[in-house]
Amino acid sequence: MEKRTLGQGLEVSALGLGCMGMSQSYGPNPGDRDEMIAVLRGAVERGVTFFDTAEVYGPYVNEELVGEALEPLRDQVVLATKFGFDIRDGRSVGVDSRPEQIRRVADASLQRLRTDRIDLFYQHRVDPAVPVEDVAGTVAELVAEGKVAHFGLSEAGAGTIRRAHAVHPVTALQSEYSLWTREIEAEILPTLDELGISLVPFSPLGKGFLTGTVDTSTEFTPGDVRTLIPRFTEENRAANQALVDLVEEVAAAHRATPAQVALAWLLAQRPDIVPIPGTRRLSRIEENLGAVTLDLPAADLTALGEAAERLGVAGARYNEAMQAMTGL
């Protein structure tokens, strides 16, 4: 497996694994815990070393799953988790990045992950009530104590990134980025380049849309987050199909899958991008890993990028309630 180096020298596999979907957001959760443990361990066997979770996924159960699965393989993997939500009675009711809360989350996450260190600790969402300088300073203390190795931000704006980085080096920003979600290109990506901060794109396959497996006939199961997202209405899925058609054309020309093409486009954008596609199936992990060795010609990369820009995307990526939590 090809390796990539995030900011501050954190080496990871070129593709990571987003673990959220094993515990929430995409319909009924898997009933067989052992099956998900096998998927996580199978990913390591295939070269994946970078695993992403968060306390709020579940809440808590995703960290517990990842911890149980990867405890025997701990020295082979990089564990990323997140703080920043106020969780009460099993659900998030807002954001909370007070220093004392960050410390509580760090200690609890260490227990659930069955480890003595968090390799990458992200602020999950910006907390407008807490200066990001205080957040960065608290994480810096956790780094000094050996509980955390690297500091990250998620869905933060350029100004917030600069302020945090001035207090303690930011290793990575996790934000949504793909062929059909490119808002960060204007201001945030240049900021990351300037400061030496890497990008970890979540939803790099457009929550499944860019794989070609979602169309106007798709019926989402109860509990699937896509039922709440404007760009997944039937009307918007029809309007957005033109981009998927182009991805499929490029895939056919290279005997690849649409998912591999979408991920290869991302990987080609800069050398320190590490996407974290999520899945519950080992077969999809194997498919996604094929993107690492898919060397798309420059002409195809340009055509995909220009087409995505020209076609645009129908529908917002979040509804109003979700957008209020992004901090952007």
Q: Which residues are catalytic?
A: 57
* Residue 112 Cα distances to 21, 148, 175, 193, 238, angstroms: 18, 15, 24, 34, 42
The C-alpha atoms of residue 148 and residue 152 are separated, in whole angstroms, by: 11
Terminal-to-terminal C-alpha distance of the chain: 34
Altogether, the residues listed in the chain come to a count of 328
Q: How many CA atoms lie within 13 A of 7 on its CB side?
A: 22
153-156: Cβ within 8 A, 24+ apart: 153/122, 153/123, 153/126, 154/82, 154/84, 154/122, 154/123, 154/124, 154/125, 155/124, 155/125, 155/126, 155/326, 155/327, 155/328, 156/123, 156/126, 156/132, 156/327, 156/328
The C-alpha atoms of residue 145 and residue 138 are separated, in whole angstroms, by: 11
80 CB-near residues (< 8 Å, 6+ apart): 16, 50, 51, 52, 53, 118, 119, 120, 121, 122, 152, 200
The C-alpha atoms of residue 319 and residue 273 are separated, in whole angstroms, by: 27
Helices 234-253, 258-267: axis angle to 10 degrees equals: 80
Chain-centre distance of CA 275, in angstroms?
Answer: 7
Position 248: which residue type? E
The C-alpha atoms of residue 68 and residue 72 are separated, in whole angstroms, by: 8
The C-alpha atoms of residue 304 and residue 250 are separated, in whole angstroms, by: 9
